[in-house]
Amino acid sequence: MSTLVLTAHGSRDPRSGANARAVADRLGILRPDLDVRLAFLELNEPSFADVLAGLPDPRRAVVAPLLLAGAYHARIDIPEQIARAGAHGIRQADVLGEDDGLVSVLRERLAEIGVSPLDEDLGVIVVAIGSSSAAANARTARVAAKLASGAEWAGATTAFATRREQSVARAAGCLRRQGARRLVIAPWFLAPGLLTDGVSKFSSDNGIPMAAPLGAHRLVAEAVLDRYERALAEQQAA
């Protein structure tokens, strides 16, 4: 049996860990032939290092990051921990990125709070975590354009919760200058947590409706499986 190591960031907020466990449960239902093992890079248990140490055969395992952006944890932290663990032969799948299925989940979350794609007065702010990597942020910024495809909104733009120069407030002002009379926040987050609580406070303070995070939606689990399968295919082609 192959092993899928579902690797989440970890958080002091219990809602984040609960969501990661729910995604792992979905994976187990979708693919009962897989040995799905949940691991956290920090702050939660089981730790990534402990899960790697417990693998029966790293060569039959794929690390599948439960991460939206190809930032520090995907590019540096995970490879370094794999090297320290001596998990030779293990494969690392790509992050979830601006996956079309996840964008459709975001549309679903907006629909849940009454957003119509035909609302010409609406401006949509896609809020993500943000990274010190310009390349990672540029990739995340594609989500807003994908989300707005086919919609008649006044505009859609990206804001980053950890980047002052691309804050939610700046994005709101930009959309209003473009003619948006109403705004809505679409969080590009997998789970609620401390950062989304900060965005939610801005939302409440400024009277801007905010959708729910992506959560443990079936399409999130399917995106993880897609990255897992791609990693296996690349290994076989090498």
**What pLDDT, on a 0 to 100 scale, did the predictor assign at position 95?**
98
Kindly report each contact of residues 32-37 with a partner whose C-beta sits within 8 Å and lies 24 or more positions away, as own/partner.
33/1, 33/2, 34/1, 34/2, 34/3, 34/4, 35/1, 35/2, 35/3, 35/4, 36/3, 36/4, 36/6, 37/3, 37/4, 37/5, 37/6
Structure tokens at 84: 């320290």
**What pLDDT, on a 0 to 100 scale, did the predictor assign at position 238?**
63
**What pLDDT, on a 0 to 100 scale, did the predictor assign at position 235?**
73
3-state secondary structure of 36: strand
CA nearest 6: which of 64, 77, 90, 79? 64
Side by side, which strands form the sheet with 61-65? 35-40, 3-8, 61-65, 91-92
Instruction: Count other C-beta atoms under 10 Å from residue 163's C-beta.
Output: 15
3-state secondary structure of 177: helix
- CA–CA dist 191, 212 (Å, integer): 8
Q: Are 126 and 156 in contact (CB under 8 A)?
A: yes
**What pLDDT, on a 0 to 100 scale, did the predictor assign at position 1?**
72
Q: Catalogue all structural domains in the chain, each as residue range(s) with its CATH number.
A: 3-97+217-237 (3.40.50.1400), 100-206 (3.40.50.1400)
Residues 6 or more apart whose CB falls under 8 angstroms from that of 226 comprise: 99
Tell me: the pLDDT tens digits for 83-137? 999 999 999 999 999 999 999 999 999 999 999 999 999 999 999 999 999 999 9
Query: Could you tell me the mean pLDDT of each successive run of 10 residues in the chain, 238 residues long?
Result: 94 97 98 97 97 95 97 96 95 97 98 98 97 94 97 98 94 97 98 96 98 98 98 80
